[in-house]
Amino acid sequence: MKVLQVAAEVFPQVKTGGLADVTGALPPALAREGADVRLLLPGLPAIADALAAPRTVARIGPMFNAARVEVVQGRLHGSDLPAYVIEAPYLYRRAGNPYLGPDGHDWPDNLQRFALLGWVGAHLAAGEIDADWQPDVLHAHDWHAALACAYVAAHPPTAAGTVFTIHNLAYQGLFPIGDFGLLGLSHRALWPHGIEFHRQVSFMKAGLLFADRISTVSPTYAREITTPEFGCGLDGVLRDRHHDLRGILNGVDRDVWNPATDRWIAARYDASLLAGKAYCKAALQREFGLDARADAPLFGVVSRLTSQKGLDLLLGALPALLARGGQLAVQGTGDGVLEDALRGAAAQHPRQVALHVGYDEPRAHRLVAGADVIVVPSRFEPCGLTQMYGLRYGTLPLVRRVGGLADTVVDADEAALADDRATGFVFDQAQPGALEAALLRAMALYRDPPRWQAVMRRAMAQEFTWTVAAREYLGLYGEAIASRREKPRRLSMR
């Protein structure tokens, strides 16, 4: 099976969140299962500059306000998989964040930048970009690539099936409805059940309407998004397509996240020899300026600092954590109010609270390895990878029972502890008091080293592999291809 993966970012070249981890790990996993996989990526500087032995496969000419558009093919450094990169310097050759300008706001031409990504993906799927390779299925990731599904539906000769994956429904790619004409689609696409969303153009809705199959990144989140509470206004569309919707849990790249081989941590360790974790904790305390106390339970956070991630709940529960001798180390960036509040807590309690603003991959590994507990108190969480990294490193996750967090962590209640099933700590209500109660349960168990280490070993025994996910995706691809042949979803071009 030939599979084209379309995405805006990929680890390690460009990463703003878990999407890059997925697009860096899923394609190789599919290839190991026998698929012929290629990636399509925008020519952001870090991506274009990492392409080895590039060759031009198509010169498209001016479009979407770009004077020059070419598609080049090569291999990204460190990867055995072929990649297509869209060279459109006017749209993509920009420093910094792939979505935001230096002022912290969306690039004003994001509609054109990501419409071009979808357009090229659709024409690759139609065999019109590379005469030597045409995919059987196009897999579009998140709103940035969602328009590929609409362009395929508007391209009658295209036989490729389409799969659209929702990585986070809250980010939808919304643009002024007056810019719809720039897309080159028929105005039929703006009918009442089209891609119009509250007088805006929604790229996310285009993926939901026109993909042959839809997936998201955990079974629980797949159920949640069909409800008003989690559906972000699109729950009705998702209920209409619930037969085509699957929840496929993300995996962990064991080559990247493995405490036995991790080159970025202070000492390597595994479930049979845990001594190295104590060295990692001491090193993390030194790095973050915390008291070097082995007996102080150290809670870690690696996250975007937003209300979605529940960091305001953690601030509400922080006094109880500190009063009982706990420590908190945070790496992240985001909401200025949350950043300031965490800075204030670190200034007031410099030996117990530390904050690093920004994202740094090696430091993230050191924080996950050195903390005793990794805290993920999200209000909603499509999948979450941080808690899976915590499990791999024996850093017990403390999570809210939503989305992929609910699918991956078993609460250390008395029954689970007795049955040796516990892998972390789970709370239900998005309230500081509920989180505080879970923190106190974690601290109580930490004071019982034999039971704590038993839970650590159970956590480290969990297997969330990309092999399982890849096989589920291959099954979904087969459904998409069959659906395309039997009853293709069509949309007229203008």
| Residues pairing with 304 in the sheet | 333
| pLDDT score for 47 | 95
pLDDT score of 486 = 77
Q: Give the pLDDT of residue 491.
A: 67
**pLDDT at 376 (0 to 100):** 98
Q: At the topology level of CATH, where does 275-462 sit?
A: Rossmann fold (3.40.50)
Q: Can you give the residue ranges of every domain in the chain?
A: 2-251+467-486, 275-462
pLDDT tens track, the chain, 494 positions = 999 999 999 999 999 888 999 999 999 999 999 999 999 999 999 999 999 999 999 999 999 999 999 999 999 988 889 999 999 999 999 988 899 998 888 999 999 999 999 999 999 999 999 999 999 999 999 999 999 999 999 887 778 999 999 999 999 999 999 999 999 998 888 876 889 999 999 999 999 999 999 999 999 999 999 999 999 999 999 999 999 999 999 999 888 999 999 999 999 999 999 999 999 999 999 999 999 999 999 999 999 999 899 999 999 999 999 999 999 999 999 899 999 999 999 999 999 999 999 989 999 999 999 999 999 999 999 999 999 999 999 999 999 999 999 999 999 999 999 999 999 999 999 999 999 999 999 999 999 999 999 999 999 999 999 999 999 999 999 999 998 877 666 665 44
Residue 494 is predicted with a pLDDT of 46
2-251+467-486 topology per CATH: Rossmann fold (3.40.50)
Residues 463-493 pLDDT 10s: 999 999 999 999 999 999 998 877 666 665 4
Does this chain's domain 2-251+467-486 share its CATH topology with 275-462? Answer: yes
